[in-house]
Structure 1
Amino acid sequence: MKVMVLLLEKASPSEIDHELLDPFVSLVEFSVSPPGGFRDHPHRGFESVTYMLQGGIIYQDFNGHKITIHEGDVQWMTAGKGIIHSEMPEEQVNNGLQLWINLPSVDKMIEPKAVELSSSEIPRAEEDGVEVKVIAGESMGVQSPFYTKVPIMFLDFTLKPKAQTHQTVPESWTAFAYVIDGDEGVFSSSDSSTVQAHSVVVFEKGDGVSVLNTSSFKPLRFLLIAGEPIGEPVVQHGPFVMNSQAEIDMTIEDYRNAKNGFEGAKSWRSE
């Protein structure tokens, strides 16, 4: 299986080609400290997965949901027809990753919701120098209890020095890896080229992904993310992800007029 390597810059979305990486819209590695943060803002038309690597994020939305997502915790957020929320830093140093997953047209106007999975609740497995946290999907005989509308896998692998693993991926699915730590991983490549930390590795279609940590001293940590393509047009305008410009225009009008899912826009404010 061939790969394409992209560099993901912190605090800005990766340059994801919607057709190439369908159903994924964006991947952001963020670092935020007080008094900064992501103050009250709207979304529509997609789901997000927020995975905290360090510190914590205080989440609030206009449905009355408030929780702190700590290091190692995960939040699934379905924007659906509309949600307004805030994501503010809890500590001085707060780092994490947020993945946006498109919703098919039939689901873009579903009810919004947010669900969390604490670090202690994430299933994990370990064998032959390979540890995996199964946030979504299945790996090494372990399955996550959580699902997004669009079927995906979201796996956090740590390979000890010289360890290797192979993960089965449905042949029609889009798959990519994001290297969190370690500079000597080889991903499904015949030329033994290593991949640097904070890089995105995009895989061609196939039945699986093989990874080898060539380092003799340092562990390799990466996320393996894969999903079933939707095959629909994507038009993104800031926090909104729809199928056409007309739908984007309607979404902006709905938000401005506090209707069709944004009824709380005029009255709700986070604490």
Structure 2
Amino acid sequence: MSKAEISSVLREPRFVVKKFQTRIQAEGVGAVVRRSIGRFELRHFDPFLVLDEFSVTAPGGFPDHPHTGFETVTYMLQGAMTHEDFAGHKGTIRTGGLQWMTAGRGIVHSEMPASQGTQKGLQLWINLSSKHKMIEPRYQELLSKDVAEVAKDGIKVRVIAGEALGTKSAIYTRTPTMYLDFTLKPGAHLQQPIPSLWNSFIYVLEGEGIFCKQESSPTKAHYILLLGFGDGVEAWNKSSKLLRFILVGGEPIGEPVVQYGPFVMNTQEEIDQTIDDYEYCINGFENAKH
């Protein structure tokens, strides 16, 4: 898509409606996360439930824990993490690689460091609609070399989900989602379309950028910006260093969300049933007893 074509698409650019810095907290065993979505200021941002930037060093990690009713997207920024679940699925996610896990009716798994030093990455929880909450667990995994990537006019993007700069991801999203990892060189200007009715946000990983309006104050790393409605977003790198951020958008599900830790359903009765299923190893959790 040419600049002229993109410019004509962005008739109603989005604006920042909320901006705040991530909060550091302990998770798992000896792990630290910077949480943005999923904390008291922002419990949910339909269809997104949690966004963590995690940092963990062995022997710390995330030992056996369950999930039900949503998807987790793990994207490695540095190092490697090994994943293993109660059904025997096992693999290692390395720098630049990703795992898109559909927990569905239930998964018990662990995520532990697979190399020396500090492992860093992002984990995003995406809600599933009621019709998909009880599907069988599934995985989509990509090595770094298999993630769609394109560079143009001082902009590089890794397309984890959705489409950018004419390049599409191979990932299938049950809840329609875009997940883009942008790097802008100094002086670069980005215009990225977003479906007009989707919720979207920006999370800055490194450097500092100006978003939505040229006169806005620069936003630094570890800040999240929630975007209002419109048909796209603009970003500028007016600094002398690289700017890297993720842009994530998703179609709102519009259903009630009842969450009890790693269980996300539509009603309290469904949560109570899920807790019983987990405790008694039934209805999808049969392998949990092992």
TM-score of the alignment, normalized to the shorter chain, above 0.5: yes
Q: RMSD between aligned alpha carbons?
A: 1.2
Q: Runs in 1 of length 4+ with deviation above 3 angstroms?
A: 15-19
Give a deviation string over 1:179-208, Cα, whole Å, max 9, x none: 00012x111125321111011111001100
Counterpart residue type for residue 107 of structure 2: I
The counterpart of 1:95, out of the listed 120, 127, 133, is 120
Q: Does 1:58 align with 2:82?
A: yes
Q: Any conservation in 2 of the 1:18–1:234 contact (CA below 8 Å)?
A: no
The counterpart of 1:212, out of the listed 224, 231, 236, is 236
For residues 15 and 164 of structure 2, the distance between their equivalents in structure 1, rounded to whole angstroms, comes to: 22
Q: Does 1:228 align with 2:251?
A: yes
Counterpart residue type for residue 196 of structure 1: K
Counterpart residue type for residue 253 of structure 2: I
Q: Any conservation in 2 of the 1:47–1:148 contact (CA below 8 Å)?
A: no
For residues 58 and 214 of structure 2, the distance between their equivalents in structure 1, rounded to whole angstroms, comes to: 45
Q: Any conservation in 1 of the 2:37–2:43 contact (CA below 8 Å)?
A: no
The counterpart of 1:14, out of the listed 36, 39, 48, is 36
Q: Does 1:261 align with 2:284?
A: yes
Counterpart residue type for residue 178 of structure 1: Y
Q: Does 1:113 align with 2:113?
A: no
Counterpart residue type for residue 5 of structure 1: K
Give a deviation string over 1:107-145, Cα, whole Å, max 9, x none: 100000222111100111111100001110000000001
Alignment of 1:148-227 (within 5 A): 148-183=173-208, 185-189=209-213, 191-215=215-239, 217-227=240-250
Q: Does 1:69 align with 2:93?
A: yes
Q: CA deviation at 1:14?
A: 1.9
Q: Secondary structure at the match of 1:53?
A: strand
For residues 80 and 145 of structure 2, the distance between their equivalents in structure 1, rounded to whole angstroms, comes to: 15
For residues 12 and 77 of structure 1, the distance between their equivalents in structure 2, rounded to whole angstroms, comes to: 21
Q: Any conservation in 1 of the 2:58–2:113 contact (CA below 8 Å)?
A: yes
For residues 198 and 53 of structure 1, the distance between their equivalents in structure 2, rounded to whole angstroms, comes to: 14
Q: Secondary structure at the match of 2:219?
A: coil
Counterpart residue type for residue 91 of structure 2: I
Residues 13, 245 of structure 1: alpha-carbon distance in 2 compared, 3 angstrom cutoff: farther
Q: Secondary structure at the match of 2:131?
A: helix
Gaps in structure 1 of 5+ consecutive residues: none
For residues 148 and 248 of structure 1, the distance between their equivalents in structure 2, rounded to whole angstroms, comes to: 24
Matched pairs, number? 264
For residues 267 and 183 of structure 2, the distance between their equivalents in structure 1, rounded to whole angstroms, comes to: 40
Q: CA deviation at 1:246?
A: 1.3
Q: CA deviation at 1:9?
A: 2.9
Q: Secondary structure at the match of 1:246?
A: helix
Counterpart residue type for residue 9 of structure 1: R
For residues 115 and 15 of structure 1, the distance between their equivalents in structure 2, rounded to whole angstroms, comes to: 23
